[in-house]
A = this chain, B = another copy of it.
Amino acid sequence: MGRSRGFDIDDALDAAVRTFWEHGYEASSMQTLCDAMRVQPGSAYAAFGPKRALFVAALRRYAETVSADAVRRITTPVSGLQGLRDYFDHLIEAMVDGNRRWGCLITNSLVEFAERDPELAGLVGLHLANLRAAFEAALARAAAAGELRPGAGPEAAALLVAVAQGMNVLAKSRPGRAPLRAIVDATLAGLVA
């Protein structure tokens, strides 16, 4: 019993995700975060613990929503090649129009945290491994269907992960649709039959 919480945990977490996503960890003060979450500092600390714990929760939320949605685009289509196209097409649109103009929270976190927080870096590494596995499966499907040029296969997953990370970096310079298209087209041109 007792007083019930006056805000929704996931709503607050989504606000924290947006703040961390846009400004990064250090540049997001607890003040700013609390304003975005519409919650007072005391309530935030009661619900999430200190800032780092809030960030971990936000990162998990991001992985379960934004990132999982993106990965699903790779795995859903029966055609492996179509899965790759869907993923990258959506990526481009979200970078031009949507919230991926801030890049990717996972990518940003790796850059900002890798040197000083090995535990957090490991968590990021898990999500990157997920993405890589999805790419590998799609490439295997595509190869089996004869959609790839001879010699191309699942080992190209490493390349696709690198390209995605590179695009996440370049997205922060707010490029137009064309430069991003060029990256994807050149990538796939080297893979398809």
Contact = CB atoms under 8 A, between A and B. Distances in A.
A128 B163 CA distance: 15
A193 B167 CA distance: 26
B172 A158 contact: no
B172 A167 contact: no
Contacts of A107: 111, 169
Contacts of A172: 110-111, 114-115, 121
B108 A111 contact: yes
Q: Secondary structure at chain A's binding surface: helix, strand, loop or mixed? A: helix
Contacts of A173: 110, 114, 121, 124-125, 128
B116 A27 contact: yes
B166 A161 contact: yes
Interface residues of A, number: 46
Nearest to A174: B114
B108 A155 contact: no
Given A159-B187, A165-B165, A182-B155, A112 B111 contact: yes
Interface stretch (A18-26, A37-45, A66-74): A18-26
Given A23-B115, A156-B186, 9 more contacts: A27-B116, A107-B169, A108-B111, A114-B172, A121-B173, A128-B170, A159-B163, A163-B166, A166-B167
16 contacts: A102-B115, A110-B173, A111-B172, A121-B172, A128-B173, A155-B182, A155-B186, A156-B190, A158-B182, A159-B187, A162-B163, A162-B166, A162-B183, A162-B187, A165-B169, A190-B191
